[in-house]
Amino acid sequence: MKLFTTILIYLVCMRASAQLSNGSFELISSMPNGLGQWQRATGWSNAGSNLSSPDLLHYDAINACDLPETSVGFVDSFDGDAVMGITLCGRPGDNKREYISTQLSSAMVVGKPYAVGFRMANGEHIPTSQAGLATSDMGFCFSVDPIAQNGTDPINRQPQLKIESVVYSPDWQTYIFTFFPQEPYKFMTFGLFGDDSDKDIQIRRGSNPSLAYYFVDYFTIEPLFGEYAEVDGEREPVIDSASLSKGEKEFFIPNTFTPNADGNNDRFLPVAATDGDWMLEIFSSWGDRVYVSDQNSTGWDGIYQGLACSPGGYVWQITYFEDGTNGKPKRQELRGMFHLVR
């Protein structure tokens, strides 16, 4: 079988010019002292609504907006000292929404790949909480101009990225999408788009919950740039690796693997050049985590839930910790794209 002559080696551009300047809500204008104070998170908005009120939550806050015990559940931050709490919807048919939105530090480049990620949890439910609903189809809408919400009505826009399944988890879950922008987008809005008619809203906790409330943290948008390797003659995949480093660790990452059981390059497995613990996660282009392991793994064989994954681009993420300031561990992450070829 012939393959396309050009294989693109994608590497995350680990530069200071990341697309989001406050993805973990650590930059605040002042400490929140009540619920609904989303505006104290620098660079974030509630999509221009005069009614919706996402919650900025912080370990040093007071009056029901302090972590880890909040008015809707117990949760520790995924990263740093703050998270945002957002009501994605109410009971089926209520069509109640909250959104959070931010302007990117620079416009996206049309046609270039980006890794768009975030973390989400429902926390540990408490009996007095109005939360306990779960929904499908939350996602991201990117736009050239700001998107405006009317009151608590749904925004009737089509998100470019969304999680189609119903999501509910007490613990933090990671989602990383591969996104190719069709316009030079400058704004990102997160929430549940469109009305309730095509949403799967379920009761997951409590006897009569009224809110699908989610904690979100650690939003990231990073370009996946790279260089081209030309192959003349026979159209065979280029098998290569790249060296990436951040902090004190260095990794060698393959850009392509071919899980066809021929004994050659059948598993995707980064190699660390230094000692220490680290975790590998692999995500499909639609944000599903298809593989997770530690440094002792034998690598991914291209199988997810018993089925062979489709050929195409996948995002890898390596996470490890180093000593930070004040004795707190500092999270380090590397991301990039590789190709599964069959």
Check whether residue 105 and residue 47 sit in a common domain: yes
> In this predicted structure, what is the pLDDT of residue 320?
87
Does residue 19 form part of some domain?
Answer: no
Does residue 18 form part of some domain?
Answer: no
Check whether residue 137 and residue 259 sit in a common domain: no
pTM: 0.82
Q: Of 190, 223, 256, which residue constitutes the final position of a domain?
A: 223
Average pLDDT over all residues of the chain: 86
Does residue 120 form part of some domain?
Answer: yes
Mean pLDDT of 20-38: 96
Does residue 24 form part of some domain?
Answer: no
Does residue 131 form part of some domain?
Answer: yes
Beta bridge partners of 247: none
Does residue 27 form part of some domain?
Answer: no
> In this predicted structure, what is the pLDDT of residue 201?
98
Q: Which domain holds residue 270?
A: 237-340
How far is residue 159 CA from its own chain's centroid? 15
Check whether residue 201 and residue 109 sit in a common domain: yes
Q: Of 223, 250, 270, which residue constitutes the final position of a domain?
A: 223
Check whether residue 262 and residue 295 sit in a common domain: yes
Instruction: Give the CATH number for residue 109.
Output: 2.60.120.260
- What's the Cα-to-Cα distance from 143 to each of 22, 42, 103, 159, 182, rounded to whole Å? 19, 20, 10, 10, 10
Instruction: Give the CATH number for residue 335.
Output: 2.60.40
Q: What is the pLDDT of residues 72-84, one digit of tens each?
A: 999 999 989 999 9
> In this predicted structure, what is the pLDDT of residue 247?
52
> In this predicted structure, what is the pLDDT of residue 296?
80
- Reported confidence tier of residue 123, pLDDT bands at 50, 70, 90: very high
Does residue 4 form part of some domain?
Answer: no
For the chain, give the percent of residues with pLDDT over 90: 62
Least confident of 8-12, 72-76, 168-172: 8-12
Q: What is the pLDDT of residues 178-227, one digit of tens each?
A: 999 999 999 999 999 999 999 999 999 998 999 999 999 999 998 875 43
Angle subtended at Cα 330 by Cα 329 and Cα 334, rounded to the nearest 5 degrees: 135
Check whether residue 214 and residue 134 sit in a common domain: yes
Q: Of 196, 223, 250, which residue constitutes the final position of a domain?
A: 223
Amino acid (1-letter code) at residue 17: S
How far is residue 41's CA from residue 29's CA, in Å, rounded to a whole number? Answer: 7
- Say if residues 123 and 227 touch (Cβ distance below 8 Å): no
Check whether residue 250 and residue 218 sit in a common domain: no
Give me the number of domains the chain comprises: 2
For residue 1, pLDDT over 70 is answered with no
Mean pLDDT of 21-33: 96
Backbone angles phi, psi at 102, to 5 degrees: -150, 155
Check whether residue 92 and residue 209 sit in a common domain: yes
Does residue 74 form part of some domain?
Answer: yes
DSSP string, 35-51: TT-GGGBTTEE-TT-SS
> In this predicted structure, what is the pLDDT of residue 222?
87
